[in-house]
């Protein structure tokens, strides 16, 4: 050990001096490592925080493992449900749709009513009271309101709220507000974007719910918890069997519960991001470290030789240089950790717009620290090892000689060809050609930065494309009105007669279980008119699919989910009315970016269901100037159970995306600029140091500062230009990977590629290059010419 | 301004001080000299006497702290960076002790490098021919001997047809025989091109090849010798 550490104290002093001497480059590397670690800390911390909070929240409030909706099931059935193998508890509740009528809101707001038994112990799907108290079972007329909704409208305990439930108007007094595990992500039914202001949840006593929905002694949704480690599948099958006679639409597990699904998908997306980003950053850092270390060892050959001749061992010297790399990595990790905590807190605030927990605190995942240290240590290891080996290998005698000058020899590319190029250009072109590995590494480094920017840009484009395609091309309606139960299609006339309604399109949808070749999915099937105008099935080129006979059109994602192709027969077990089981041919696939719809012609669906002329809702196209009046009419139509304002939702969604992912993208763009500057600057600095003497000589020979700068910056510019197509390619590959990995059946991220995205990234990289070039030009401007002449090397 | 009998350089009270106070180093302390146009001048003096400092100031790559240094009547001390660069570019040829060639350019390209930014350059091949290296034009510096590299450096310096040529220990890194070759080239170029030439050397004997010998000591000009007859470098006894 003494052998190894003897003399380390002196070397440690040298270490600090070395670090200070190349502080510009150290800073660049620290920033790049820091950026990588910060992203890692942020995204892992965010996932860990969401995950922990979610688990604690779910456990404390007994979030159900299984949900089993039905039409009307007698309470006595609960005993049968509890008897199913693996079920630890089962409770029946009544849930129903309806509207809330707020005086200051023109449009009715979709509401969900949920029965609550304030006196029962250990309620499944319990609520976390935020303000006030649960509704009193004795007083009556009281409701507990979802806190984010109440907050959005300035409602609180003591206020009154007018509602329409099951077609009847009522007024409830708000006894309190609450959050609940099933409403962390608050998305109005039939909508695609979270909007706590436009979705009310009211918990009222069981007695009131029974009365309102005519469900005396019955429930319409069973919620169950399972014993630890029980497989859900057989339980779901058993539930479907038991509840089938009572109008069950199909039990589903927590994983398919909408709020939970969004939450878990979001966490998955974070994980995808960090699986791409973190390695990218660390590779770039390793490359930067390697460049700097190699240069350091080269300039210190003489010193190394001297140390060795004094008797310092190879290991001691190797360790010294490794320490240099590790110190940088350690500082980078520290910076990244602190930066990651800040980013984490920032992003947590953003996430509270989407996910409504009673509490959400960003807590770094301390396992990440090990990970960060390990990966930055490995980075330093990889980056430094080559240089360290070189240093340790240097024989004392060789080290004392100046390094062999760059060996330029006459060769194929001496550049004296058809056209004349000036000597400064020739100088940098030769340097690139004669040191291809270094040039390639630089190009890849810059390309990585650009790739990141490309990916970010495409992500933005994809969201634009997705929203535009979904709301301006696929579904052109302004309002979706849903009914509590299917009604006669004569109802459409009532809507046509409203002044300002330009077009009414019938919607018929019914829940069903779809299966093919062993794969299955619970979803809805939507009957569309023969010639749909508002909501249209489009192919991948966004062209309307005109003729599909009596077959079904599936969202493209189902090809994989159900392992099915055009012409195959799809089994559809309808979970409504007479509950027929149908065998329908797949007529084609439709492009859907939000949700995963299944369409067939309404006429064909009617025939299959043997229920002609029924509709479950209407899509409206309206004159925007008449919207207030139309909203007011909708408030007073008893059959209306839900109103979803597509336009408004679209705008809200846009706003939300700008705030949330917008922040994230801003961070990522900043980070890609840091990488680009880091790589370009580092390369420029090294080139500068290596050629200080040549550059000073040029100045002495009468070259101006700019002309001298050109020799150096011309090389950087050339490498940057070469890096542009490389970066485009890297960006494209990253993007296709990320888009595929992040697509879920909630959102399909389209891999649209716009040339402008490459242009944008190119501008980012070029701007970074110009900045780095500016730093180096500054060094050139400050040149002291005399010392250069005094030394040989 | 410019007249036939005006000297190439004239300095008055030229001083250069490094640092301040007690630790100040006075590299030059009031140098007064005159160098007529076209002369071959050798600058002698012990190490640390200020030879390089003087040459660098006259060559426009260093700045005096006091006094005047007139080139054709213009004061170099008062020129800003841009004008100094222009001065070097238009008028000055340099030959350095360590050659300072661009390793990535061949002999010919090194010469062209300077020719490209000159007003009325000599053809690169002609410049190389004058130093006897025409047949090595396409070799890189790493393929040339020290003396050959120094001759490429001289070719580079004369290619722009400079009005003044500065050589700081041009033979310092060379053996005697090669050094003589380099000196011969310089003397010949001085007489054929008429460029005022200033050579720093440690070998006092070299003074014999010059029109004028300046002896520097402790930052001051000690004496000036004028040779009626110049010797040829190969006639020197070392
Ligand atoms: N940057 C500097 N800082 C402080 N002192 C300096 C600096 N450069 C030169 N000197 C001092 O100025 C004096 C003159 O230096 P100069 O290089 O002109 O000497 P010289 O005559 O060329 O010597 P040599 O024959 O050894 O090359 C010396 O004492 C030297 O130490
Ligand atoms: Mg000197």
Supply the pLDDT for residue A661. 67
Confidence of residue A409 (pLDDT cuts 50, 70, 90): low
Confidence of residue A397 (pLDDT cuts 50, 70, 90): low
B116 shares contact with chain A (CB less than 8 Å): yes
Strand, helix or coil for residue B172:
coil
Supply the pLDDT for residue A57. 93
B9-18 sheet: strands from edge to edge: B25-35, B9-18, B66-71, B74-75
A541 shares contact with chain B (CB less than 8 Å): no
Confidence of residue A716 (pLDDT cuts 50, 70, 90): confident
* CATH numeric code, A501-622: 2.40.40
* B167 DSSP β-pair partners: B95, B199
Chosen for mutation from A702, A781, A786, A792 (greatest number of chain B CBs closer than 10 Å) is A702
Q: Do A125 and A90 form a contact (C-beta atoms < 8 A)? A: no
For the stretch A348-371, pLDDT in tens is 887 887 889 888 878 877 777 777
> Which span out of A145-154, A442-451, A573-582, A777-786 was modeled with the highest average pLDDT?
A145-154
For the stretch A106-143, pLDDT in tens is 888 999 999 998 777 778 999 999 999 999 888 889 99
Percent of chain A at pLDDT above 90? Answer: 27
Contact A702 B140 (CB under 8 A): no
Asked whether the predicted pLDDT for residue A759 surpasses 60, the reply is yes
Supply the pLDDT for residue A394. 66
**How far does the centroid of ligand 2 lie from the alpha carbon of residue B200, in Å?**
8
Supply the pLDDT for residue A455. 85
Give the Cβ contact number of residue B149 at 10 Å. 23
Q: CA-based diameter of chain B, in Å?
A: 55
* B33 DSSP β-pair partners: B11
β A218-226/B66-71 pair status = unpaired
Supply the pLDDT for residue B22. 85
A431 shares contact with chain B (CB less than 8 Å): yes
Give the Cβ contact number of residue A214 at 10 Å. 9
Q: Do B9 and B71 form a contact (C-beta atoms < 8 A)? A: yes
C-beta of B27 in contact with ligand 1 (< 6 A): yes
Range name among A381-395, A685-699, B138-152 with the lowest pLDDT average: A381-395
Contacts of A406 (CB under 8 A, 6+ apart): A434, A435, B103, B104, B142
For the stretch A469-492, pLDDT in tens is 888 888 889 999 988 888 998 888
Angle B129-B135-B140 (CA atoms, 0-180°, nearest 5)? 105
Q: List for chain B the helix, strand, coil content (%; round to 5).
A: 35, 25, 35
Measured from the Cα of B54, ligand 1's closest atom is 18
Asked whether the predicted pLDDT for residue A793 surpasses 60, the reply is no
Average the pLDDT over B47-57 and give the result: 93
A153 shares contact with chain B (CB less than 8 Å): no
pTM of the complete model beyond 0.80: no
Supply the pLDDT for residue A157. 95
Which residues of chain A lie closer than 8 angstroms to B85, CB-CB? Answer: 699, 702-705
The per-residue DSSP string of B5-30 comes to TS-SEEEEEEEEEES-GGG-EEEEEE
Which residues of chain B lie closer than 8 angstroms to A789, CB-CB? Answer: 52, 56, 96-98, 100, 168
Residue A567 CB burial class (10 angstroms; 0-12, 13-18, ≥19)? exposed
Asked whether the predicted pLDDT for residue A580 surpasses 60, the reply is yes
Range name among A207-221, A459-473, B201-215 with the lowest pLDDT average: A459-473
Question: In whole angstroms, what is the distance from residue A336 CA to residue A755 CA?
Answer: 33
Average the pLDDT over A196-217 and give the result: 92
Supply the pLDDT for residue A155. 95
Q: Measured in whole angstroms, how far is the alpha carbon of residue A336 from the centre of its chain?
A: 21
C-beta of B149 in contact with ligand 1 (< 6 A): no
Asked whether the predicted pLDDT for residue A75 surpasses 70, the reply is yes
Asked whether the predicted pLDDT for residue A404 surpasses 70, the reply is no
In chain B the domains, ranked by start, together with CATH numbers, are 36-62+90-235 (3.40.50.300)
What is the token pair recorded at A437? 């590995």
Q: Measured in whole angstroms, how far is the alpha carbon of residue B38 from the centre of its chain?
A: 13
Average the pLDDT over A495-502 and give the result: 91
Contact A414 B138 (CB under 8 A): yes
Question: In whole angstroms, what is the distance from residue A340 CA to residue A406 CA?
Answer: 43
Distances (CA, A) of A356 to A254, A478, A653, B8: 18, 27, 16, 85
Asked whether the predicted pLDDT for residue A9 surpasses 80, the reply is no
> Which span out of A24-28, A516-520, A604-608, B222-226 was modeled with the highest average pLDDT?
B222-226
How is chain A split into domains, by residue range?
A: 62-261, 420-475+647-793, 501-622
Contact B61 A407 (CB under 8 A): no
For the stretch A219-258, pLDDT in tens is 999 999 999 989 999 999 999 999 999 988 889 999 989 8
Give the Cβ contact number of residue A445 at 10 Å. 28
Which residues of chain B lie closer than 8 angstroms to A427, CB-CB? Answer: 102, 104-105
User: What mean pLDDT value characterizes chain B?
Assistant: 90
Asked whether the predicted pLDDT for residue A664 surpasses 90, the reply is no
Confidence of residue A413 (pLDDT cuts 50, 70, 90): very low
Distances (CA, A) of A101 to A108, A112, A200, A508: 5, 13, 10, 26
Asked whether the predicted pLDDT for residue B1 surpasses 50, the reply is no
Question: DSSP alpha helices (H): ranges in A469-540?
Answer: 491-496
Supply the pLDDT for residue A107. 84
Among B61, B104, B139, whose Cβ lies nearest the Cβ of A786?
Answer: B61
β A109-116/A199-205 pair status = parallel
C-beta of B219 in contact with ligand 1 (< 6 A): no
b/e map of B85-103 (b: 16 or more CB within 10 Å)?
A: bebbbebbbbbbbbbbbbb
Average the pLDDT over A646-657 and give the result: 78
Nearest ligand for residue B96 CA: 2
Chosen for mutation from A406, A412, A701 (greatest number of chain B CBs closer than 10 Å) is A701
Residue B11 CB burial class (10 angstroms; 0-12, 13-18, ≥19)? buried
For the stretch A566-576, pLDDT in tens is 989 999 998 88
**How far does the centroid of ligand 2 lie from the alpha carbon of residue B169, in Å?**
7
**What is the least distance, in Å, from the CA of B222 to any CA of chain A?**
25
Question: In whole angstroms, what is the distance from residue A297 CA to residue A292 CA?
Answer: 9
Question: DSSP alpha helices (H): ranges in A584-645?
Answer: 602-609, 627-635
Question: For a pocket test of ligand 1, which of B49, B98, B166 has the largest count of ligand atoms closer than 8 A to its C-beta?
Answer: B49
What is the token pair recorded at A440? 């390639």
DSSP state of A362: -
Supply the pLDDT for residue A5. 57
The label of the residue with tokens 């213009």 reads B74
Range name among A588-592, A662-666, B147-151 with the lowest pLDDT average: A662-666
Supply the pLDDT for residue A414. 46
Q: Do B105 and B116 form a contact (C-beta atoms < 8 A)? A: no
Supply the pLDDT for residue B48. 92
C-beta of B212 in contact with ligand 1 (< 6 A): no
Supply the pLDDT for residue A1. 45
Average the pLDDT over A61-70 and give the result: 94
Question: In whole angstroms, what is the distance from residue A392 CA to residue A316 CA?
Answer: 9
Supply the pLDDT for residue A415. 47
Give the Cβ contact number of residue A640 at 10 Å. 24
Confidence of residue A317 (pLDDT cuts 50, 70, 90): confident
Helices (H) and strands (E) in chain B, counts: 6, 10
Supply the pLDDT for residue B155. 93
Supply the pLDDT for residue A27. 86
* A116 DSSP β-pair partners: A205
Q: Do A552 and A559 form a contact (C-beta atoms < 8 A)? A: no
Average the pLDDT over A429-435 and give the result: 83
Question: In whole angstroms, what is the distance from residue A206 CA to residue A189 CA?
Answer: 22
DSSP state of A474: I
For the stretch B8-31, pLDDT in tens is 999 999 999 998 888 899 999 999
Among B62, B85, B96, whose Cβ lies nearest the Cβ of A702?
Answer: B85
Which residues of chain A lie closer than 8 angstroms to B92, CB-CB? Answer: 702
Question: In whole angstroms, what is the distance from residue A130 CA to residue A120 CA?
Answer: 19
Q: Return the H-helix or E-strand segment holding B53.
A: helix B51-58
User: What mean pLDDT value characterizes chain A?
Assistant: 84
What is the token pair recorded at A55? 């688990």
Nearest CA-CA partner of B185 in B219, B222, B146, B158: B158
Contact B116 A422 (CB under 8 A): yes
Q: Do B140 and B159 form a contact (C-beta atoms < 8 A)? A: no
Asked whether the predicted pLDDT for residue A444 surpasses 80, the reply is yes
Chosen for mutation from B140, B172, B200 (greatest number of chain A CBs closer than 10 Å) is B140
3-state SS string for A247-277: CCCCCEEHHHCHHHHHHHHHHHHHHHHHHHH
Which is higher by pLDDT, B49 or A666? Answer: B49
What is the token pair recorded at A304? 């190394």
Contact B62 A434 (CB under 8 A): no
3-state SS string for A361-413: CCCCCHHHHHHHHHHHHHHHHHHHHHHHHHHHHCCHHHHHCCCCCCCCCCCCC
**Chain A residue closest to B89 (CA)?**
A702
C-beta of B56 in contact with ligand 1 (< 6 A): no
**How far does the centroid of ligand 1 lie from the alpha carbon of residue B28, in Å?**
9
Asked whether the predicted pLDDT for residue B5 surpasses 80, the reply is no
Contacts of A384 (CB under 8 A, 6+ apart): A289, A290, A293, A321, A322, A324, A325, A326
Question: In whole angstroms, what is the distance from residue A576 CA to residue A226 CA?
Answer: 27
Contact A408 B138 (CB under 8 A): no
């Amino acid at each position: 050990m003494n052998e190894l550490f003897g003399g380390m104290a002196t070397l440690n002093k040298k270490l600090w001096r070395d670090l200070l001497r190349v502080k510009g480059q150290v800073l660049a590397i620290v920033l790049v490592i820091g950026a990588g670690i910060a992203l890692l800390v942020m995204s892992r911390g965010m996932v860990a925080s969401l995950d922990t909070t979610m688990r604690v929240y779910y456990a404390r409030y007994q979030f159900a493992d299984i949900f089993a909706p039905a039409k009307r099931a007698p309470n006595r059935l609960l005993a049968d449900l509890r008897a199913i193998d693996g079920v630890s508890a089962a409770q029946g509740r009544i849930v129903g749709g309806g509207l809330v009528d707020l005086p200051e809101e023109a449009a009715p707001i979709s509401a969900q009513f949920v029965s609550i038994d304030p006196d029962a112990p250990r309620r499944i799907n319990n609520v976390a009271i935020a303000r006030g108290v649960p509704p009193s079972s004795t007083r009556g007329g009281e409701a507990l309101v979802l806190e984010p909704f109440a907050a959005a409208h300035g409602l609180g305990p003591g206020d009154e709220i007018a509602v329409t439930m099951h077609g009847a108007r009522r007024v409830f007094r708000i006894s309190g507000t609450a959050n609940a595990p099933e409403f962390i992500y608050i998305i109005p039914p039939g909508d695609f974007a979270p909007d706590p202001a436009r979705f009310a949840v009211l918990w009222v006593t069981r007695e009131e719910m029974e009365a309102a929905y005519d469900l005396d002694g019955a429930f319409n949704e069973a919620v169950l918890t399972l014993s630890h480690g029980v497989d859900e599948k057989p339980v779901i099958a058993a539930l479907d069997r038991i509840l089938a006679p009572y109008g069950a639409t199909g039990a589903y597990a927590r994983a398919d519960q909408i709020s939970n699904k969004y939450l878990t998908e979001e966490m998955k997306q974070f994980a995808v991001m960090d699986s791409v980003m973190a390695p990218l950053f660390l590779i770039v850092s390793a490359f930067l470290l390697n460049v700097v270390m190699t240069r350091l060892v080269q300039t210190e050959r003489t010193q190394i030789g001297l140390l060795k001749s004094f008797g310092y061992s190879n290991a001691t010297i190797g360790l010294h240089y490794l320490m240099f790399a590790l110190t940088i990595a350690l500082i980078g990790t520290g910076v990244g950790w602190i930066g990651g905590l800040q980013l984490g807190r920032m992003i947590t605030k953003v996430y509270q717009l989407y996910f409504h927990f009673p509490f959400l605190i960003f807590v770094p995942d301390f396992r990440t620290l090990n990970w960060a240290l390990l990966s930055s240590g490995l980075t330093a290891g990889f980056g430094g090892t080559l240089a360290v080996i070189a240093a340790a290998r240097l024989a004392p005698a060789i080290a004392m000689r100046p390094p062999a000058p760059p060996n330029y020899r006459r060769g194929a590319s001496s550049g004296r060809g058809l056209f004349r190029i000036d000597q400064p250009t020739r100088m940098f072109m030769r340097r690139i050609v004669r040191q291809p590995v270094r040039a390639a590494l630089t190009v890849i480094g810059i390309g990585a930065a650009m790739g990141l920017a490309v990916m970010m840009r495409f992500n933005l484009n994809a969201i634009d494309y997705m929203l535009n395609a979904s709301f301006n091309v696929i579904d052109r309606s302004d309002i979706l009105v849903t009914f509590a139960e299917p009604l006669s299609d004569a109802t459409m006339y009532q809507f046509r007669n409203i002044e300002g309604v330009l077009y009414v399109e019938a919607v018929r949808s019914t829940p069903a279980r779809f299966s093919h070749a062993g794969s299955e999915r619970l979803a809805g099937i939507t009957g569309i008119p023969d010639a749909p105008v508002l909501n249209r099935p489009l192919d991948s080129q966004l062209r309307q699919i005109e003729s599909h006979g009596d077959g079904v059109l599936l969202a493209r994602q189902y090809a994989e989910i159900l392992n099915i192709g055009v012409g195959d027969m799809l089994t559809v077990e309808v979970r409504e009315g007479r509950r027929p089981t149908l065998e329908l041919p797949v007529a084609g696939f439709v492009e859907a970016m939000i949700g995963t719809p299944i369409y067939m012609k309404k006429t064909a669906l009617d025939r299959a269901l043997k229920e002609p002329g029924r509709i479950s809702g209407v899509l409206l196209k309206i004159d925007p100037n008449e919207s207030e009046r139309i909203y007011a009419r909708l408030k007073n139509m008893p059959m209306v159970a839900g109103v979803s304002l597509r336009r408004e939702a679209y705008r809200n969604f846009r706003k939300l995306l700008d705030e949330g992912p917008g922040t994230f993208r801003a961070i990522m763009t900043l980070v890609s600029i840091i990488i680009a500057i880091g790589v370009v600057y580092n390369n420029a600095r090294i080139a500068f140091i290596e050629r200080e003497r040549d550059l000073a000589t040029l100045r002495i020979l009468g070259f101006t500062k700019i002309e001298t700068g050109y020799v150096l910056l011309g090389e950087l510019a050339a490498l940057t230009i070469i890096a542009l197509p490389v970066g485009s390619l890297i960006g494209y590959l990253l993007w296709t990977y990320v888009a595929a990995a992040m697509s879920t059946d909630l959102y399909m991220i389209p891999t649209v590629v716009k040339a402008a995205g490459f242009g944008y990234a190119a501008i980012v990289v070029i701007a970074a290059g110009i900045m780095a070039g500016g730093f180096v030009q500054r060094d050139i401007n400050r040149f002291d010419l005399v010392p250069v002449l005094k030394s040989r090397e | 301004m410019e007249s036939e009998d005006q000297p190439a350089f004239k300095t008055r009270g030229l001083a250069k001080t490094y640092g301040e106070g007690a630790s100040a180093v006075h590299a030059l302390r009031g140098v007064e000299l005159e160098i007529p146009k076209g002369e071959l001048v050798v600058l002698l003096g012990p190490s640390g006497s200020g030879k390089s400092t003087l040459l660098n100031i006259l060559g426009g790559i260093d700045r005096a702290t006091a006094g005047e240094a007139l080139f054709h009547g213009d004061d170099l001390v008062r020129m800003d960076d841009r004008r100094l660069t222009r001065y070097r570019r238009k008028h000055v040829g340099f030959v350095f002790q360590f050659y300072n060639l661009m390793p990535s350019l061949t002999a010919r390209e090194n010469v062209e490098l300077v020719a490209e930014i000159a007003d009325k350059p000599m053809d690169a091949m002609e410049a190389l021919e004058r130093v006897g290296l025409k047949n090595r034009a396409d070799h890189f510096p790493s393929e040339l001997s020290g003396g050959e590299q120094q001759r490429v450096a001289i070719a580079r310096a004369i290619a722009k047809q400079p009005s003044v040529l500065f050589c700081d220990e041009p033979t310092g890194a060379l053996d005697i025989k090669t050094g003589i070759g380099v000196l011969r080239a310089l003397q010949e170029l001085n007489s054929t091109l008429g460029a005022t030439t200033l050579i720093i050397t440690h070998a006092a004997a070299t003074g014999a090849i010059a029109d004028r010998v300046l002896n520097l000591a402790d930052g001051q000009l000690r004496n000036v010798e004028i040779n009626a007859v110049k010797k040829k470098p190969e006639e020197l006894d070392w």
